[in-house]
Amino acid sequence: MARPLVAEISLSALNHNLSQVRRFAPAARVFAVIKANGYGHGLLRVAGAFKQADGFAVLTLTEAQMLREAGFEQPILLLEGFFSADELPQLAKLKVSVVVHALWQVAAINAAPITGINVFLKINTGMNRLGIAPAEVAEVCRALRLGGRLNQCVLMTHFATADDDRGVADQLALFAAATDGQRGERCVANSAAILRYPQTHADWVRPGIMLYGASPFADQLADAFDLRPAMTLRSGLLAVQDIRPSDAVGYGRSFVADTSMRIGIVACGYADGYPRHAPTGTPVLVEGQRTRTVGRVSMDMLAVDLSDIPLAGVGSPVVLWGDGLPVEEVAAAAGTISYELLTALAPRVPVREMP
Ligand SMILES: *Cc1c(COP(=O)(O)O)cnc(C)c1O
Is 95 one of the catalytic residues?
no
What does the pLDDT look like over 70-79, one tens digit per residue?
A: 999 999 999 9
Mean pLDDT calculated for residue range 46-71: 98
Span 57-67, average pLDDT: 98
* Mean predicted lDDT score pLDDT of the chain: 98
- What per-residue confidence (pLDDT) applies to 227? 98
Torsion angle defined by CA atoms of residues 100, 105, 106 and 109, in that order, rounded to the nearest 10 degrees:
-100
Instruction: State the pLDDT at residue 244.
Output: 98
**Residue 76 zone, left/alpha/beta (φ > 0; ψ -120 to 50; rest):** beta
Q: Give the Å distance between the CA of 34 and the centre of ligand 1.
A: 9
Pocket test for ligand 1, best of 206, 215, 338 (most atoms within 8 A of CB): 206
Q: For residue range 300-334, list pLDDT tens digits in order.
A: 999 999 999 999 999 999 999 999 999 999 999 99
The stretch 141-166 carries a mean pLDDT of: 97
On whether the CB atoms of residues 5 and 272 are closer than 8 A, the answer is yes
Which ligand 1 atom lies nearest to the CA of residue 79? 13
**35 flagged as catalytic:** yes
Its pTM stands at: 0.97
H helices of the chain, in order, are 11-24, 35-39, 43-49, 61-69, 88-93, 103-110, 137-147, 169-179, 191-196, 327-333, 338-343
Does the pLDDT at position 1 exceed 90?
no
By the 10 Å C-beta count (0-12 exposed, 13-18 middle, 19+ buried), 244 is classed as exposed
